[in-house]
């Protein structure tokens, strides 16, 4: 017999206190329990971070990044005090200054701009989670030049979704994880909405469901996919259209759903040459009309008892109108979309496409089921049951970040709608405050005048040419050329064009570039090397071409070195934030929810939360909304704003605990609101009533509930837009039918790309370059354990991903005779890099890829100069340009989706050759001085009591 085990305390004290707040290690916004222990000095320290079981987003789980938050808070790269540049831009040489000095300098730069030419300030925020606040500030400043990072992230996904069905993926919705049996996931980079998707996949698999992954790369979710479709990048739209073709041809579409809930029965004017051609027939109040199948009479779509006819047609005033559905039949039944025709382009065998379509059809129709839940639709019809179709889809940047991404995203939404799987049990469900039709969103505003606020919100959804952000002379009103003929539906702006346009003075020059949390001189820009040159370029007088740059970041990132004035931000555990329903909330399909961050620890250095700094600047500049008519500050800081600001009477940044604490959504200001959130675990949840849980756009119970919570002020049921009229209006203008006319060089492109039904066209870059010279697609993915640049400063995470090889598929690996440890020269039409390679078999045979944002500039992030991130790590960004190759017309053609301006990162094509092994990847950039020194050599994380 063994002797007894050593004695062991199996019930040690876990912590002295648990403080519940919201994670910020990515944009998932999970709830976290921050375990605090008293340190030797008696101060509370963060000892351990875990997921909050009660939280609607993550229900207790937490990813690698979230669990490593403690190393983010302890990161040596944290900025310590405001900095003023002393050396040349890019050098990293700064002196520390006081906050008073810093804010005075900022005010002295910004004040004259507001008084004379507000558009000379370009204010762009990156991974900002307070856009409703930062945009409020920018609007009151009066510059038209504001946006966040959506334009280079996933604006195609968001915009296509909102124009088509009033919501998209991620924060807009989620599959009905409890009931879905087939989940098809396109081009997801494993980061957005990551914990909920992982949880969902686990649940789905536990229920015996199946995952189908469409992605050139078999990693992450595609690794656990039961079926992997290793598609060629940029051809997802073609695959989806082919699936639609097969489904329509086989009649495997939900006619009942289409006739009731979509604009398929709406009537399209077919008069050739008419300025109305392609527009929908409407009544005098602007309501689309449909033919009632029972009576054959034209009726408003929403009239009680109407039964819209998908096969209807009507002649009026000499104009023939046929239904959208009939146009769709002609469009999608074209043999151009037959699997055999698209197979080669997509890199997928025709029988596989056929099988995919057959599988979704089988599950959607043969495994349809009913929930015993009655509901009433917007036409007043009562339904005893809710019909469910257990097929759901999800997609993200993989299909979005192409120049054909908008139409591809549209195609995917149309596919879901044809199957009748959106907002039904087992299908895809919106999260409040979505669904929300385009009509519920603002249009963009761009009219600026000195000393005045902008005429309305910057960003919005254009309905037609009248909403474009153009000046009187037709030139772009915005520095990023958002909402212009180049990209009319650019609902998130074009952050990737700001530096390039400002440097070129196209459409005009600016004075001050003000950035927040956007690593624009590194991984957040296309064409990194050139962007660094633009930021440091001087004019003939020796002045910087972009005269002033203010930057706020919590860490010593690459962008810090390129700014003139640094306003150091706090870490996520040292600040107030609100994850607001006015912005990008954290709701679930079954509940509205919002959340806060609050300072669970106090900063140990001279830094301030950026939003509080904006409040201060707003007061110093005397901005409306920040000072009252006596010039006194309205809000002391951001926390004060969160509690006391009201967008509309009774509607504030936070929906929970309003009034006396018992009111949700609408209610008076509650001075104790933040404490109530803290007591509740940092969040607020209001559940959707059961009869309102599905069919939300058409369900009166949901509409009433949404009005009650203040998402909108009266019920606004709407139809899914299979046919998108605003696109047609742009085409009509290009055909010569509008007062506002596009420039001639863009007419044909608008006509070709802005089809009101989803289409597919090859990537714009492919038309400009020799595909044979650059035969390989090159992609990046963000690893699940890293977020942008932040992981590099995290002692735990950087051990997981400290080097990023270029993954090469078997065919190329063997063709080029690569071996482990080899390096390659990778060339695009814009430049070349030399990087380490590795073999991957589960990869589209014409695609290479690497992990995103692992490569670092030497001296950044408080890393040692020899850190692998700075020696072997690399960015693919060097190969990608924000502009298309010059066409010889002297114009600067943006490398973006021609509809939304989404940065077309994934259109990149390269050539790959073996090169000799190197010590450093190429290009090597000069190093920057670290304003915070280097991190300690050894870390032993433990709070010693």
Partner 1 sequence: MTELPETTQRKLGLVIDLDTCVGCHACVVACKGWNTENYGVPLSDVDAYGADPVGSFLNRVHSYEIAPTGGGCSQTVHFPKSCLHCDTAPCVTVCPTGASYKRSEDGIVLVDESACIGCGLCAWACPYGARELDQVAGVMKKCTLCVDRIYNENLEEVDRVPACVRTCPAGARHFGDLGDPDSDVSKLVAERGGFDLMPEQGTAPTNKYLPPRPKDRLTAQAADSSSLTPIAEEPKGFLGWLDMALEAL
Partner 2 sequence: MHPAPSVIIFTVLSGLGLGMLAFLGIGVLDVQGVAAFMPFAIAFTFTITGLIASTFHLDNPQRAWRAFSQWKTSWLSREAWLSAATLSVMGIFAINNIFRGITISVLGWLGAGLAMATVVSTAMIYTQLKTVPRWNHWITPIHMLTLSLAGGAILMQHTSAALVLLTCAGLAQLAHWRIGDRQFAARGHSMETATGLGDRGSVRMFEPPHTGSNYLLKEMVYVVGRRHALKLRCIAFVTIVLLPFLIVVALPGGTLTTCFAITIFGLGTFTSRWLFFAEAEHVVALYYGKRDG
Q: Which helix H or strand E contains 350, and what residues bound it? A: helix 350-361
Quote the least distance from Cβ 263 to partner 1, whole Å: 17
Q: Look at residues 565, 681, 586, 578 and name the one whose alpha carbon lies nearest to residue 638.
A: 578
In the block, residue with structure tokens 């925020």: 125
Q: In the beta sheet, which residues pair with residue 242?
A: none
* Contact between 404 and 439 (Cβ < 8 Å): no
Q: Is residue 842 within the footprint of partner 1 (CB under 8 A)?
A: yes
Number of residues that bind partner 2 (CB under 8 A): 10
* Contact between 114 and 621 (Cβ < 8 Å): yes
| Binding partner of 5, given partner 2, partner 1, none, CB within 5-8 angstroms per partner class | partner 1
Q: Is residue 798 within the footprint of partner 2 (CB under 8 A)?
A: yes
* Contact between 913 and 816 (Cβ < 8 Å): yes
Rounded to 10 degrees, what is the CA torsion of 123, 127, 129, 131?
A: 30
Q: Is residue 321 within the footprint of partner 2 (CB under 8 A)?
A: no
Q: Look at residues 578, 552, 575 and name the one whose alpha carbon lies nearest to residue 564.
A: 552
Q: Which is nearer to partner 2, 638 or 813 (CB)?
A: 813
253 to 272: interface string for partner 1, x by CB under 8 A: --xx--x-------------
Handedness of CA 100, 106, 112, 116 (dihedral sign): negative
Can you list the positions of beta strands (E) in 28-151? 31-38, 44-51, 83-85, 94-96, 121-125, 146-147
Task: Single out the residue of 462, 840, 853, 862 in contact with partner 2 (rule: CB under 8 A).
Answer: 840
* Contact between 444 and 492 (Cβ < 8 Å): no
Quote the least distance from Cβ 691 to partner 1, whole Å: 24
d(CA 464, CA 737): 12
Helix axis angle, 610-620 relative to 131-141, nearest 10°? Answer: 20
Q: Which is nearer to partner 1, 62 or 596 (CB)?
A: 62
d(CA 386, CA 376): 10
| Binding partner of 803, given partner 2, partner 1, none, CB within 5-8 angstroms per partner class | partner 2
Q: Which helix H or strand E contains 300, and what residues bound it? A: strand 298-300
Q: Look at residues 731, 772, 760 and name the one whose alpha carbon lies nearest to residue 748.
A: 731
* Contact between 82 and 568 (Cβ < 8 Å): yes
- Other Cβ atoms less than 10 A from the Cβ of 610: the count is 24
Q: Is residue 662 within the footprint of partner 2 (CB under 8 A)?
A: no
Q: Is residue 201 within the footprint of partner 1 (CB under 8 A)?
A: yes
Half-sphere exposure of 327 (CA within 13 A, CB side): 25
Q: Which is nearer to partner 1, 309 or 686 (CB)?
A: 309
| Binding partner of 221, given partner 2, partner 1, none, CB within 5-8 angstroms per partner class | partner 1
574 to 603: interface string for partner 2, x by CB under 8 A: ------------------------------
Q: Which is nearer to partner 1, 26 or 654 (CB)?
A: 26
518 to 537: interface string for partner 1, x by CB under 8 A: --------------------
Q: Which is nearer to partner 2, 102 or 784 (CB)?
A: 784
Quote the least distance from Cβ 861 to partner 1, whole Å: 8
d(CA 927, CA 18): 41
| Binding partner of 158, given partner 1, partner 2, none, CB within 5-8 angstroms per partner class | none
Task: Single out the residue of 199, 329, 707, 800 in contact with partner 2 (rule: CB under 8 A).
Answer: 800
| Binding partner of 76, given partner 1, partner 2, none, CB within 5-8 angstroms per partner class | partner 1
Task: Single out the residue of 356, 534, 550, 876 in contact with partner 1 (rule: CB under 8 A).
Answer: 356
Quote the least distance from Cβ 652 to partner 2, whole Å: 45
Rounded to 10 degrees, what is the CA torsion of 695, 696, 698, 701?
A: 110
Q: Is residue 803 within the footprint of partner 2 (CB under 8 A)?
A: yes
870 to 909: interface string for partner 1, x by CB under 8 A: -x--------------------------------------
* Contact between 690 and 677 (Cβ < 8 Å): no
Q: Look at residues 175, 162, 159 and name the one whose alpha carbon lies nearest to residue 590.
A: 175
Task: Single out the residue of 795, 848, 880, 904 in contact with partner 1 (rule: CB under 8 A).
Answer: 795
d(CA 945, CA 942): 9
Quote the least distance from Cβ 945 to partner 2, whole Å: 24
884 to 923: interface string for partner 2, x by CB under 8 A: ----------------------------------------
Q: Is residue 64 within the footprint of partner 1 (CB under 8 A)?
A: yes
Half-sphere exposure of 151 (CA within 13 A, CB side): 35
Q: Which is nearer to partner 2, 285 or 940 (CB)?
A: 940
Which 853-872 residues touch partner 1, going by CB under 8 A?
A: 862-864, 866-868, 871
Task: Single out the residue of 801, 858, 878, 909 in contact with partner 2 (rule: CB under 8 A).
Answer: 801
Q: Look at residues 369, 315, 439 and name the one whose alpha carbon lies nearest to residue 697.
A: 439
Q: Is residue 799 within the footprint of partner 2 (CB under 8 A)?
A: yes
Q: Is residue 12 within the footprint of partner 1 (CB under 8 A)?
A: yes
Structure tokens at 170: 């991620």
Q: Is residue 782 within the footprint of partner 2 (CB under 8 A)?
A: no
Classify each residue of 695-734 as buried b or exposed e, where b means 16 or more C-beta atoms within 10 Å of its C-beta: bbbbbbbbbebbbebbbeeeebbbbbbbbbbbbbbbbbbb
d(CA 253, CA 418): 5
Q: Is residue 850 within the footprint of partner 1 (CB under 8 A)?
A: no
Quote the least distance from Cβ 3 to partner 1, whole Å: 4
Task: Single out the residue of 16, 38, 227, 691 in contact with partner 1 (rule: CB under 8 A).
Answer: 227
Quote the least distance from Cβ 942 to partner 2, whole Å: 19
Q: Which is nearer to partner 2, 7 or 40 (CB)?
A: 7
Q: Which is nearer to partner 2, 613 or 840 (CB)?
A: 840
Q: Is residue 841 within the footprint of partner 2 (CB under 8 A)?
A: yes
Report the Cα–Cα distance between both ends of the chain, in Å, rounded.
39
Q: Which is nearer to partner 1, 67 or 134 (CB)?
A: 67
Quote the least distance from Cβ 803 to partner 2, whole Å: 4
Quote the least distance from Cβ 107 to partner 2, whole Å: 45
851 to 880: interface string for partner 2, x by CB under 8 A: -----------------x------------
539: CB partners within 8 A, 6+ apart: 545
- Other Cβ atoms less than 10 A from the Cβ of 224: the count is 14
d(CA 611, CA 623): 15
Quote the least distance from Cβ 208 to partner 2, whole Å: 20
DSSP state of 884: P
Task: Single out the residue of 216, 758, 802, 901 in contact with partner 2 (rule: CB under 8 A).
Answer: 802
**DSSP assignments along 355-370, one per residue:** HHHHHHHIIIIIT-EE
Which 732-791 residues touch partner 1, going by CB under 8 A?
A: 784-785
Q: Is residue 189 within the footprint of partner 1 (CB under 8 A)?
A: no
Structure tokens at 438: 């385009």
Binding site for partner 2 (CB under 8 A): 798-803, 840-842, 868
């Amino acid at each position: 017999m063994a002797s007894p085990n050593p004695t062991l305390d199996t019930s040690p004290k876990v912590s002295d206190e648990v403080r519940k707040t919201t994670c910020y290690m990515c944009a998932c916004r999970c709830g976290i329990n921050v375990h605090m222990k008293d340190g030797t000095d008696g101060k509370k320290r963060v000892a351990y971070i875990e997921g909050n079981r009660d939280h609607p987003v993550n229900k207790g789980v937490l990813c690698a990044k979230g669990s490593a938050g403690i190393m983010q808070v302890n990161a040596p790269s944290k900025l310590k005090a405001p900095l003023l540049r002393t050396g040349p831009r890019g050098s990293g040489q700064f002196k520390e200054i006081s906050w008073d000095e810093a804010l005075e300098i900022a005010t002295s730069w910004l004040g004259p701009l507001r008084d004379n030419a507000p558009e000379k300030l370009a204010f762009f925020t990156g991974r900002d989670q307070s856009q409703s606040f930062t945009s409020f500030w920018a609007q009151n400043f009066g510059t038209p030049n504001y946006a966040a990072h959506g334009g280079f992230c996933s604006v195609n996904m968001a915009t296509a979704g909102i124009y088509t069905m009033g919501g998209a993926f991620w924060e807009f919705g989620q599959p009905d994880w409890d009931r879905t049996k087939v989940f098809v996931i396109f081009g997801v980079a494993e980061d957005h909405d990551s914990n909920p998707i992982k949880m969902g996949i686990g649940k789905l698999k536990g229920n015996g469901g199946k995952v189908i992954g469409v992605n050139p790369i078999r990693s992450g979710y595609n690794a656990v996919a039961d079926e992997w479709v290793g598609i060629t990048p940029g051809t997802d739209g073609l695959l989806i259209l082919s699936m639609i073709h097969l489904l329509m041809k086989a009649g495997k579409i939900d006619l009942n759903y289409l006739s009731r809930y979509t604009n398929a029965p709406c009537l399209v004017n077919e008069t050739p040459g008419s300025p109305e051609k392609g527009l929908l027939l409407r009544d005098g109040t602007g309501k689309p009309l449909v033919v009632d199948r029972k009576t054959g009479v034209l009726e408003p779509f929403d009239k009680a008892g109407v039964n819209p006819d998908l096969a209807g047609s009507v002649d009026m005033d000499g104009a023939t109108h046929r239904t959208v559905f009939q146009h769709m039949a002609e469009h999608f039944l074209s043999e151009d979309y037959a699997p055999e025709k698209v197979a080669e382009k997509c890199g997928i065998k025709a029988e596989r496409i056929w099988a995919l379509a057959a599988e979704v059809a089988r599950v959607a129709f043969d495994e349809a089921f009913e929930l015993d839940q009655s509901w009433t639709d917007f036409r007043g019809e009562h339904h005893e049951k809710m019909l469910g179709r257990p097929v759901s889809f999800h997609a993200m940047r993989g299909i979005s970040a192409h120049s054909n991404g908008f139409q591809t995203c549209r195609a995917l939404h149309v596919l879901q709608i044809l199957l009748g799987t959106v907002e039904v049990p087992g299908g895809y469900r919106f999260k409040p405050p979505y669904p929300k039709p385009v009509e519920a969103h603002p249009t963009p505003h761009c009219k600026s005048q000195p000393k005045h606020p902008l005429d309305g919100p910057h960003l919005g959804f254009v309905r037609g040419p009248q909403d474009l952000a153009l000046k009187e002379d037709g030139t772009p009103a915005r520095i990023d050329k958002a909402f212009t003929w180049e990209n009319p539906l650019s609902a998130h702006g074009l952050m990737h064009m700001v530096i390039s346009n400002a440097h070129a003075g196209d459409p005009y020059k600016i004075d001050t570039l003000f950035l927040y949390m956007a690593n624009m001189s590194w991984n957040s820009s296309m064409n990194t090397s050139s962007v660094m040159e633009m930021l440091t370029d001087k004019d003939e007088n020796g002045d910087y071409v972009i005269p002033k740059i203010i930057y706020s970041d919590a860490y010593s990132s690459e962008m810090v070195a390129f700014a003139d004035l640094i306003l150091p931000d706090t870490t996520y555990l040292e600040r107030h934030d609100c994850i607001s329903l006015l912005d990008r909330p954290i709701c679930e399909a079954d509940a509205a929810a919002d959340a806060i961050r609050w300072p669970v620890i106090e900063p140990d250095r001279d830094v301030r939360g950026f939003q509080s700094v904006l409040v201060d600047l707003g007061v110093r500049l005397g901005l409306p909304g920040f000072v009252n008519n006596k010039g006194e500050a309205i809000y002391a800081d951001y926390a004060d704003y969160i509690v006391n600001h009201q967008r509309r009477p009774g509607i504030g940044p936070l929906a929970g605990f309003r009034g006396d604490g018992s009111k949700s959504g609408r209610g008076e200001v509650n001075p104790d609101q933040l404490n109530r959130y803290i007591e509740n675990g940092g969040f607020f949840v209001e559940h959707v009533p059961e009869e309102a849980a599905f069919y939300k756009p058409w369900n009166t119970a949901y509409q009433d509930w949404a009005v009650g919570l203040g998402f909108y002020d009266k019920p606004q049921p709407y139809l899914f837009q299979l046919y998108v009229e605003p696109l047609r209006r742009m085409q009509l203008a290009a055909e010569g039918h509008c007062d506002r006319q596009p420039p001639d060089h863009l007419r044909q492109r608008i006509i070709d790309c802005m089809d009101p039904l989803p289409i597919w066209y090859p990537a714009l870059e492919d038309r400009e370059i020799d595909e044979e010279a650059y035969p390989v697609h090159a992609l990046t993915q963000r690893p699940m354990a890293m977020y942008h640049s932040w992981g590099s400063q995290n002692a735990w995470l950087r051990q997981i991903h400290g080097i990023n090889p270029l993954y090469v598929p078997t065919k190329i690996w063997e063709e080029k005779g690569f071996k482990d440890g080899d390096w390659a020269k990778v060339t695009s039409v814009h430049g070349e890099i030399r990087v380490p390679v590795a073999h991957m078999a589960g990869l589209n045979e014409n695609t290479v890829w690497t992990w995103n944002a692992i490569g670092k500039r030497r001296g950044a992030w408080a890393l040692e100069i020899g850190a692998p991130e700075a020696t072997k790590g690399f960015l693919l960004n060097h190969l990608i340009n924000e502009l298309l190759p010059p066409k010889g017309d002297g114009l600067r053609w943006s490398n973006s989706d021609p509809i939304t301006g989404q940065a077309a990162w994934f259109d990149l094509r390269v050539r790959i050759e073996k090169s000799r092994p190197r010590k450093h990847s190429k290009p090597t950039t000069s190093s920057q001085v670290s304003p915070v020194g280097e991190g300690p050599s050894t870390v032993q994380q433990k709070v010693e009591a």
